[in-house]
Amino acid sequence: MSVYLVSICEITNFSEALSEYADISAKLIEEHGGQYVVRGPVNKVVEGNLLDGKTAIIAKFPNKECIDNFWASEEYQSTKHKRDGTGVYDIGIFEGID
């Protein structure tokens, strides 16, 4: 069953370190069998205000083991600090319905 990593981000300080984090994360997601489904700012808020000014990142992984291996990998854990001080990140893992 597919599993999704969902990040809702309020980026307040786009920095070179955040750009490096994004590049490294993209490489690691791919190496762990994942692919981006959504990666960018909200185009239009149609209801509510939670998503106003936010960026959404959704990556699809083939199974829970792949996403867990990505998240726990030494490479990812050692690069997470690059987003420190750049915004607020709410991140969760969701099971797909396939």
Is the pLDDT reported for residue 98 higher than 90?
A: no
CATH number, residue 7: 3.30.70.100
- Work out how many domains the chain is built from and give that number: 1
Q: Domain range spanning residue 32? A: 3-95
- For residue 16, what is the DSSP state? H
| Residue 79, helix vs strand vs coil | coil
Calpha distance 34→13 (Å, rounded): 27
Q: Is 61 exposed, middle or buried (0-12, 13-18, 19+ CB in 10 A)?
A: buried
Instruction: Output the pTM of the full model.
Output: 0.91
Q: What are the structure tokens assigned to 29, written together?
A: 């997601």
Calculate the CA 62 to chain-centre distance.
Answer: 16
pLDDT tens digits, one per residue of 31-49: 999 999 999 999 999 999 9
| Those residues with Cβ within 8 angstroms of residue 37's Cβ, 6 or more apart along the chain or in another chain | 4, 58, 59, 60
Residue 75's pLDDT band, with cuts at 50, 70 and 90, is: very high
| Four-CA torsion 48, 41, 68, 21, nearest 10 degrees | -140
Stretch (H or E) spanning 94:
strand 87-95
